[in-house]
Structure 1
């Protein structure tokens, strides 16, 4: 391969938040690192996402996790807007809210910033390069071609990870789909990130309004294909904007200035996230809260753990088999709980009446706990009732 990179200590596939943090972490710990990204421009196109809880909220979400420096020390220039409240709207239109301090970030610039950090730490970045793992060797094509042998391969290449397939790591398979518009000229509450539930507005998922400023917002919907019942995702989102009794008053005069779409793992982590010399992180490892689809902080925590284990393995200080144990300790309970919560709620999402009933018995503090992957007593009782039906 051109450039003398036919052998490397750590190869990271995918330069999203998980991959870039993994590359930075391993490089800072002294490993020789190559970060490989199939896109020619890191961070583009944006594939949904952009809401990040403030650091104190993250510490409540993942109390046992080591928060990466890149997440804790976010440059102010990457923050487009801040919110103070999370508001949840039931199918009947009733709303409840609770305090959540959040940052809405410029995802394109954010992803680029993380890749820059990896490069400054010593990682070599290859863009416009596809990497396929075949029989333990990476085959590269695009702006760089040839084969690469790596002592450790970190697969951070998103849902349906090719690295996972190449390593024989089974994916959990269930994937959510999201479509999001950036809209200007809307009449929103700039302090509140809003979630809307209902079979018409967001079958099997939820719709959202996330402010980017006083009159600009990301407006989207996320669900899973079986719940669409033949409807297109664009049809669902357009209907939410024009017909939802509450949202339409805020959105119908707005103009769409950008369209973003993406896939989100919806089934939790697969049975294994490490095999041989391959570690999976971020969306490739299902590190997404099934209750909300939020994954940026978890991806970065997972990337940090993968990079650290990889570098320590290279230095003879750790075994790669320790990686799943690190992840289980730092976020395993929250991820597992989020899947369990989603499974309980799944049984109710086909009925607006049941969703309204669930909404009625959950006070705001328990709603916040659910978003953090905690299972309150009221939801446990609902789960028991649904299981006995």
Structure 2
């Protein structure tokens, strides 16, 4: 295929953009979403939470730092397609090993460049995230539109098992081992267990389909649920496992998809956001401290829980601990006992901050404190 072959992008409502092929030639379909990050495109591309999504970058110039071998958040690129306005002609960074264009092409990721990403983003903000197709082999927008409308929708899709590890593995604690955590991989990013390991936690990363018996077999001091793709309403097994762990008072920490599943385990509903939160600049208030954090997000669904007051559940008293200051979306939940002691918690954003600000790194310390305060904690043991 010649360099800069023509390509088209067609949204399910018929809006069409023309540009040039970027990455691999061919055709792809997914849910069109936009990311507002000015940096961190390599972490975005390799985040499993973007499985089946076509990511539109709002920053106009992408690819200038190339691709390195240190910043990937999983073993591959997960986005279904990639949309940029102005791709870098050549990378310039001391860690760069290859260009982004070459990496996309080598991994078979179909993209498009040279389109008005600002107009596309404004359209998605007004109309909402929707299905989309990109093609450098189809010249007829009507024909591509028909295939877009026949493609799978994100609502109702259970995707965590498609991105999860197939075999359990262990991330060793750095320095002295203090605690053991069972981490359910629903689309976990590499940096997440690393953040726990640097705090003396031995992390047993388990497949998404693991049972409560599998979790308890590692004798954990706490349970962690990762980020991940898909509709939380389409998930049942992981919720049942979590409810079983909560019934045994096993401390729990969940992020992103893990926050949504925590909400459902506590009896709350979830719903699809109009266009979601995706970027590294979302302001969130931690109501437990009154502090505002600038946080990294990637989610299209949210928990439907009351922003004020407390809700009695079979596992304790639940409340909203964090809220987005842009739109009042629930950004965190807490579960406490009748005496007010913290039992479990979750946040909707990414405290490992790969890429993004480090304002929320304290949440891993909060998890450590929670596990250490639990009666019978194995803190300091090698068991």
| Structure (1 or 2) with the greater helix fraction | 1
**Normalising to structure 1: TM-score of the pair?**
0.24
Which fold has the larger relative contact order, with Cα–Cα distance below 8 Å and residues 6 or more apart in sequence? 1
